[in-house]
Structure 1
Amino acid sequence: MTTTPPTAPPPPLLGVTGLHVTFPGRQGGPPVRAVDGVALAVRSGEIVALVGESGCGKTTLARALLGLVPPASGRIEFAGRPLTYRSRALKAHRKRVQLVLQDPGSSLNPRHTVYDAVAEGLRVHRYSGDEKEAVTEALARAGLRPPERFLLRLPHELSGGQRQRVVIAGALVLAPELLVADEPVASLDASVRGEILALLLRLRAELRLAALVVTHDLGLAWNVADRVAVMYLGRIVETGSVEEVLTAPRHPYTRALLSVLPGTAGDPVVLSGEPPDPARIPSGCRFRVRCPVLAGGEAERAGVAERCRDEDPGLSDAGAGVRVACHWAEGRAAG
């Protein structure tokens, strides 16, 4: 009796391996390591939240995924094929991967109508179909119904939530496979945020649209994402399913971020100081200068304090599909 060998799982829609993005240092100083060895994957129909403090490299990573910032090294693959930086290849890539920015006010030209704002992508990519039909369908999918009411309006005539929906419609009109949404609700009132997050979930259900949601808010990640990747000082330090990472965080940095959410049990963890300069990343674990586990002696008692100071931890298996870059957490998982 012959058995059929198991088929290999399909490659992720978006795959990032060993990605580094650097910028020149100030006054001839060392280069700024904005993205410093990131590995990340987003599968078709999946929402992944990329979480971290301001300045950790989230937005630079998002722009690199669109080909807007060239990497110093590493690899970005989309649908199993490497991203190349020839103009024609980049144009084709940006049709399939669309960026939704934080501030719809700055994304929209105040002199352009809603129709022109949404149709802009079609014109750039020389769409050959019925432009008006495509625009109205995108507006309807983004929740602006009936779309004909909005076509001739200018941005100042819309609410903040409506403007964000126009920006999303401008992305949807090109039928992308992945949205990269950089703080998509940060500038909106609390009453509107839930509507936009519900829209992302509906688009995933209806279109099997994948999304990478860049945010500083772990609460947002809990509400919308399937998986979460926590970023600190240019690198992913913990990643896994939302349920695993947010109910049983392994990395001390993730624990600190979660501790300040409303309704969280226990006292908030106040991290000392500011994140280090990305041009001067500390030796050993990049979080060690702010780590409460190292400062409180827990790492010493676990026998990993010297490794924290000397060895840069890579992502390792922490169980339940979670990967973490932390010597202390790695030891706890092994024990």
Structure 2
Amino acid sequence: MTSATSELLSVQGLHVAFPGRRGAPAARAVDGVDLGIRRGEIVALVGESGSGKTTLARCLLGLVPPTAGRITFDGAPLERSGRALKAYRRRAQLVLQDPSGSLNPRHTVYDIVAEGLRIHGHAGDERAAVAEALSRAGLRPPERFFLRYPHELSGGQRQRVVIAGALVLEPEFLVADEPVASLDASVRGEILALLLRLRTELGLSALVVTHDLGLAWNIADRVAVMYLGRIVETGAVEQVLTAPRHPYTQALLSVLPEAPGAPVVLTGEPPDPSHIPTGCRFHVRCQVLAGGEAERVGVADACRSRDLEVLHGGDESQVACHWARARAEQPTAGGGGGDGAAVRPG
């Protein structure tokens, strides 16, 4: 296990709740998360829409205030003052999903990339910094793109401009929110290869937010699966995605084209985060509980009534599931490997 001292970013007991309307209960978008990201590590945060992934990511960047908990960056607690957040955002940058929506159509590529330098009072050679960022993002020769506008670029080129705008401040940490979701399949691989190259060349750490398990397989060192505000399974990407232990992870993987067997169709939508179920928060949709398997190992009542503790932020394999833990304790369970499909996402 890697020492916690090598972590660049650490989260302990993070909660984010949004007040309900007209006296309704608060929506617990992030409901207890511990997470550590080491220097030079890429962690994929996966889950359905509404699981809390984007809220957690925005909280890590200081864009959404936590209701409770602590965020530590480079060994120091993240402070909420305007000056402290401005200094932090030089070191931690966001890459958004839709380059068309995040690029000002009235600004040239040069001005878009230079904007961060101007906000933070860059004292060096602005033109050289912009050129270097564009070159690192794969737009070469960079001068050819200086006076072009977003509408004159392809989707892949626009995403590279977004990445260049993040790189120009020489950050240590990137949050990439669905970084290739809006791109054609032919371009996706190029952008993923770029992110991996930047990690190698610059030592960047990254949190990649995605619903795409194939993307997680291709880019991440570690994966954290999120459901209804909590991380329910985490570990090395190959371990989690080839031998998933949590029924939710198994269901997500079962719908991939490469997965053997029939897809698991989850009933209903994720519960309202203002009315989180008692017990395991997944139990109302759980195919293992519905199929009687939890009853057979004696945990069905626990699934419905006993909450699971928050997984700690370490890098070893962890799962928040009464059934998976009960099976792991049984000698015949094969050491806790899941019944889910062993699949190598493409």
TM-score range, shorter chain: over 0.9
Determine whether 1:277 maps to 2:272: yes
Q: How far is 1:80 from its partner?
A: 1.1
CA separation of 1:328/1:175 partners in 2, compared to 1, >3 Å: closer, same or farther? Answer: same
Partner of 1:286: 281
The Cα of 1:300 is off from its aligned counterpart by: 0.5
CA distance in 2, matches of 1:9, 1:61: 21
Q: Work out whether residues 232 and 311 of structure 2, in 8 Å CA contact, stay in contact via their aligned partners in 1.
A: no
Aligned residues of 1:316 and 1:330 also touching (Cα < 8 A): no
Q: TM-score, normalised by structure 2?
A: 0.93
Residue among 122, 134, 157 paired with 2:117: 122
Number of the residue aligned with 1:221 = 216
Structure 2 equivalent of residue 3 of structure 1: none
Contact 2:97 2:181 in 1 (8 A): yes
TM-score, structure 1 as length reference: 0.96
User: 2: CA distance between counterparts of 1:313 and 1:11?
Assistant: 28
CA contact (8 A) 1:96 1:174 kept: yes
Contact 2:99 2:159 in 1 (8 A): yes
Counterpart position of 1:246: 241
Specify which of 35, 44, 47 is matched with residue 40 of structure 1.
35
- Identity value in percent: 76
Displaced runs of 4 or more, over 4 A: none
Q: Report whether the alignment pairs 1:327 with 2:326.
A: no
Q: Distance in 2 between matches of 1:303 and 1:21?
A: 34
Which of residues 261, 265, 268 is equivalent to 2:260? 265
Residue 108 of structure 2 corresponds to which residue in structure 1?
113
Alignment of 1:128-143 (within 5 A): 128-143=123-138
Aligned residue pairs: how many? 327
* Cα shift readout 1:221-266 (whole Å, capped 9, x = no counterpart): 0010000000000110000000110010000000000000111111
Deviation at 1:161, TM superposition (A): 0.6
SS of equivalent residue, structure 1 residue 206: helix
What do residues 143-167 of structure 1 show as CA deviations (whole Å, max 9, x unaligned)? 0011011000001000111000000
Residues 115-174 of structure 1: per-residue CA shift (max 9 Å, x gap): 000000000110000000000000000000110110000010001110000000000000
In the TM superposition, what is the alpha-carbon distance from 1:316 to its structure 2 partner?
5.9
Residue 304 (1) aligns with residue 299 (2): yes
Change (3 A) 1:253 1:9: closer
Q: CA separation in 1, counterparts of 2:9 and 2:50?
A: 23
Q: 1:191 aligns with which of 170, 186, 190?
A: 186
RMSD over equivalenced CA pairs, Å: 1.3
Distance 1:94 1:331 in 2: 43
1:55 partner letter:
G
1:11 deviates by 4.0
Amino acid at match of 1:288: H
Distance 1:113 1:268, change over 3 A: same
Contact 1:260 1:268 in 2 (8 A): yes
User: Structure 1: where are the runs of 5+ without partners?
Assistant: 1-6
**Candidates 223, 229, 232, aligned match of 1:234:** 229
Amino acid at match of 1:220: L
Partner residue in 2 for 1:71: 66
Identify unmatched segments of 5+ residues in structure 2. 331-346
- 2:207 — aligned with what? 212
Paired with 1:11 and 1:26, the residues of 2 have a C-alpha distance of 42
Whether the aligned pair in 1 keeps the contact of 2:46 and 2:226 (CA below 8 Å) is yes
Greater RCO (CA < 8 Å, at least 6 residues apart): 2
